[in-house]
Every structure is written in structure tokens, then in C-alpha cells.
Structure 1
Amino acid sequence: MAKWTFITNHGLVLGYIARNPKSTARTIAQAVGITERTTHKIIAELEEAGYITRKKVGRQNQYKIDANLPLRHPSHDAVVVGELLQILKWRGAATTKEQMQLL
């Protein structure tokens, strides 16, 4: 039987970015446990939907989250992303790979 989790890969990537806004896709992928290619796809989808913006700083990206956007599921559209990040304690200080692994 496949292992399942409560938080999707999109949520895990968003949470990691919230705590580590200067992370590379490779670092995010390793922390979340997905491929770098999948990470790039998720980042692009989050950016396209407006949940994150990417700013080039030298050779690195710096991400910023729009914490005021609602969650995507219709049953939770009254809850904003920032509230989810606070509940899961994903806003603020940087975290280690071990702390980020929620699986």
C-alpha cells in the first residue's frame, strides 16, 4: 500500500520556501523528498497562481509568499495561506532538513 501524507508536495514546497526564502530548487527537493524537476514544476505553478513571487538576487532566486491568498479548495477558501503557514509553524526562522520532513 502506498504511503500517504496530510500535506501535498505543493504544501511542503510552500512551507519550505516560507522558512527558507533563499533556497535553491535542489535544496527544496532534497528536504521535501521529491525530484528537482518536480520542484521546478511546483514552483512554477505556485508562481503562476500568485502564491509566490521570484526575484533574482545575483545568481540566486529569492522567494516571497503572498500570505493573503486563500487556500485553493472551495471548502477552505475563507482561510488564507498565511494562516496555514502559522498553524503549521512554517513561518519564521530557517529549519533543518530533519525538521521539515513531515512524512
Structure 2
Amino acid sequence: MASTAAGAGRNWTFLTNHGHVLLAIARDPTARLRDVAAEVGVTERAAQAIVADLEAEGYLSRTRVGRRNEYTLNPAGRFRHPAEAEVQVGDLLALFTPTPVDDTP
């Protein structure tokens, strides 16, 4: 069904790249940033910046394991927008990931 709304034809999604990166890491906590970037459709540098943002705000932490990083998510983190500030990020992760996310930091 074609839309005649003013925004028809523009390419947009409900989730931001930050949300997509968080979900990609939730699905595979040992993924290389190169692979996360390819899944999300951003450059590797953009994926690095997004992971740095998410880490700085406490949504995830990374641990070096050999030559790779392993990410641990914080599902208790709250959404940043005031309209959703009472909702935990874990609720979003539960919608899009097949396995439950561990609540322990």
C-alpha cells in the first residue's frame, strides 16, 4: 500500500543507529565492530563512536578477551528521552533478542 504522507519516499526507521548497535551487540556480545557496523549499515568508525557513547552512558561495558572485546549490557539502563525515561532498555532488548539478557553487571 503506497503512502501519500509528506514523508513518503524518505528512508527512516523507528530505531536510531545507537539502538541498532545495542541490539546487534545484544545478539552477539563477542561480535567484532566491523561486523556490527556491517549489520547496522554504518562505517566501522561510526560503530566505534556509538559503542563509546553507549559505554560512557552505562548501557554497556567492554572487557578485553585475548585480541577481542566482549560486551556486557546493562538492561536496567533507562531510555534517554523524557517520554520513555521510566522504561528500561532491557524491555527493548527482550523484544528483539531471542535469549534473556542477564541483569547482573
- Correspondence for 2:34: 26
Superposition TM-score, scaled by structure 2 size? 0.83
Task: Report the count of equivalent residues.
Answer: 92
Instruction: Select the residue among 54, 67, 78 that pairs with 2:75.
Output: 67
Unaligned 5+ segments in structure 2 are: 1-8, 101-105
- 3-state secondary structure, aligned to 1:64: strand
Q: The residue matched to 2:36 in structure 1 has which SS? A: helix
Match of 1:81 in 2: 89
| RMSD of aligned residue pairs (Cα, Å) | 1.4
Amino acid at match of 1:28: V
TM-score norm. by structure 1 comes to 0.84
User: Larger C-alpha radius of gyration, 1 or 2?
Assistant: 2
SS at match of 2:75: coil
Contact (CA 8 Å) 1:52, 1:66: kept in 2 or not? yes
